[in-house]
Chain A
Amino acid sequence: MLPDSRGYYGPYGGRYVPETLIPALNELTGVFQREINRREFLQELDYYLKEYAGRPTPLYYARNLSRRYPGLKVYLKREDLTHTGAHKINNTLGQGLLARRGGKKRLIAETGAGQHGVAAATVAALLEMEAVVYMGAEDMRRQAPNVQRMNLLGAEVRQVRAGSATLKEATSEAIRDWVASSDYSHYLLGSVSGPHPYPLMVRTFQKVIGEETRRQLQQQEGRLPGAMVACVGGGSNAAGLFYPFLEDEEVELYGVEAAGLGLSGVEHAATLNKGRAGVLHGTRSYLLQDEWGQVSPVHSVSAGLDYPGVGPEHAYLKDIGRVTYEAVSDEEALRAFRLLCRCEGIIPALESSHALAYLEKLSSSFLTSSSRVSSEIPVVVCLSGRGDKDLGTVSSYEEERGGENE
């Protein structure tokens, strides 16, 4: 089972961090491996996931949406209905409880869209820990409501102005903080990236998404899904949804990256589609970079996907062909966003809208594949978060578009 003991998924993963962090990562790996097999810890985590975060989340058959996609029976895994409104809480609860058992008093987190920052701040308040959240200045502007939430929850939000002032820089700052504070701080990384054991640990805390989905679809359909779709920035909701199905080869898995303004230019964040192997934030994976290994600036309308790296396990799953990674543009994501609002009464996060947008392509490919048209195929889309935080972005995008049309 991957990763191996050094945190490798094939050639990807590992620990590319300053020496100062190695003892901290060894300590964290020890605590994680000890607690994850303890009934007491698992019961505590289950309790909070159920009573506090509101799990299990529904697997909702989106009847109206399905009518738009002949041949597909679309199910939405409603992570947007968890407390704080995104799948991020699964991981922050897990790591927060782990940090407390490891004797840490302070949580450090990075955030892009703010969903992970809010989830980290929430858990810090719940577990009576201090929280410091690093966030790019550009993201603080785009996701102002989440900054307010974090402040209300008692977290200190530290603005990062370096570089493109988004998730990449926020992550670097969070790691630098941890380099200096690992004896009393836990670094609560929000995705399946970073040095070992983070990709493994975050996947472990997120796999509840896929495990519930499997059980729920069994109850509703009595079968496995034909395909599953999730958006991929760092890749944590996709890892959580896919992991319990990796061995079921009949289940097609699709990860959807941000094509931004289009894959032909440079303004996208489609790491697996356009990047090549490199090292960023402690892990070896695909990376959007220039010829000399300097990390490229990236773009997506969705702050949560605006990241030049990706989790190492996704790099591996791409190379072995188990998961197909596609990309969807800002425009297509916004269209899917509006469609779900109107036809199902659900406002999705712009990140999740990328997964929704892929249904169009999936539907046409399923239709052309003659062996599959006999009956409707259940397809699961991970609705990883709710879209309230994106209202500002959507309306300003529409204003710009309106301006162009006039």
Chain B
Amino acid sequence: MSKRCGMVNGFPDCIFTGVFHFPGEGKLKREGAASCSFCCCTGGGSAPAENRLEKTWQSLRREGRTALMPFIMSGDPSLEATREHVLKAVEAGTDIVELGVPSSDALADGPVVQDAAGRALAAGVTPQKVLEMVAQLRQETEVPLVLMCYYNQLLQAGEGGFIREIRKSGGDGLIVPDLPLEESDGLRRAAAEESLSFITMVTPLSGLARSRQIAGAGSGFLYCVSVAGVTGARRNIPVEALEMLKTLREITSLPLALGFGISSPQQAREAAGYADGVIVGSALIRGMEGKSRNERLEFIETFLASLRSALGPG
């Protein structure tokens, strides 16, 4: 992975903190923000302890490992179950957890994630309750927790105010799948102020110039969508996805996480040759559907362990 400060490529903000600083200047422009230790910048001191996402990528890099990143829907079938699922996933070698906040109108999601959101909503899950669970999890694990939340839920929960609450509860990052670059300025700024990673999404259709902008706007990692389509297990990783990863490697120093459609150890292994992290969602949710508590935990353990060994040791 090439390690260059985002600024060298003309990006305005530090790739991890989203805060503007000059590469190699040795001093961050804003007091108290994490240094850009992932880039060529000589940095402004060590990263704060709470920047788990950054620390995780650093150690993954050092050890030459690919991140295992399961997507878990909060509240499917209950928030207590989700807490157990996350802890079990960590045991099974998870590096970063993506936590879904349920939405009734998830435009980027296929039927499996939609159904999971439907079960969570039926169980009365709200964004506030998800954050309460995050706070509880934070007492039990140091695994980076990244929330995936559709924009209307954020908007109604108060945008900037909600971002502060995410940070306070111990969340590390935010993905908003229906908020494209053009609409994201305000939220991105609010996230940067709270040192919350704002993860942007790029697809094989985005094109070079746009991909560059999207990477420049994001922090934490770059979410690389493998296909033009919604979430859901697919048989193969398309050639375009691997091509996209190669191109992105040239234009950004952000870690690249590949998601949408990855469901098997074989696909994970293939992706690991190009990506820094592999996101698995629908296949995990489907394997737990309609199962008892013990069966679900057992499935998480065996399924994630199989992915873990495909990606290299945990």
Contacts and interface: CB of A to CB of B under 8 A. Distances in A.
Q: Do A and B come from one complex?
A: yes
A175 interface: yes
A179 B228 contact: yes
A295 interface: yes
Interface string A1-42: 000001000000011111110111000000000000000000
Contact of A162 (B114, B182, B214, B227): B114
A293 B162 CA distance: 13
Interface stretch (B71-79, B84-92, B205-213): B205-213
Nearest to B154: A293
B152 interface: yes
A19 B201 contact: yes
B104 A20 contact: no
B219 interface: no
A6 B227 CA distance: 26
A294 B104 contact: yes
Nearest to A171: B105
A291 B151 CA distance: 14
A159 interface: no
A281 B150 CA distance: 12
Contact of B178 (A279, A289, A292): A279
Interface string A262-281: 00000000000000011111
Given A14-B183, A294-B104, A295-B104, A20 B229 contact: yes
Contacts of B152: 278-280, 287, 289, 293, 295
B201 A18 contact: yes
B156 A282 contact: no
A342 B104 CA distance: 43
A289 B228 CA distance: 29
Interface residues of B, number: 39
B177 interface: yes
B107 A179 contact: yes
A176 B111 CA distance: 10
A17 B105 CA distance: 11
19 contacts: A6-B182, A16-B179, A18-B177, A18-B225, A19-B180, A19-B202, A20-B228, A23-B206, A23-B207, A162-B118, A176-B107, A179-B230, A183-B205, A183-B228, A278-B155, A279-B178, A292-B153, A292-B157, A293-B157
Given A6-B182, A19-B203, A19-B214, 11 more contacts: A14-B182, A14-B183, A17-B180, A18-B180, A19-B201, A180-B227, A180-B228, A279-B178, A292-B127, A293-B154, A294-B153
Interface of A: 6, 14-20, 22-24, 162-163, 168, 172, 175-176, 179-183, 277-282, 287, 289, 291-295
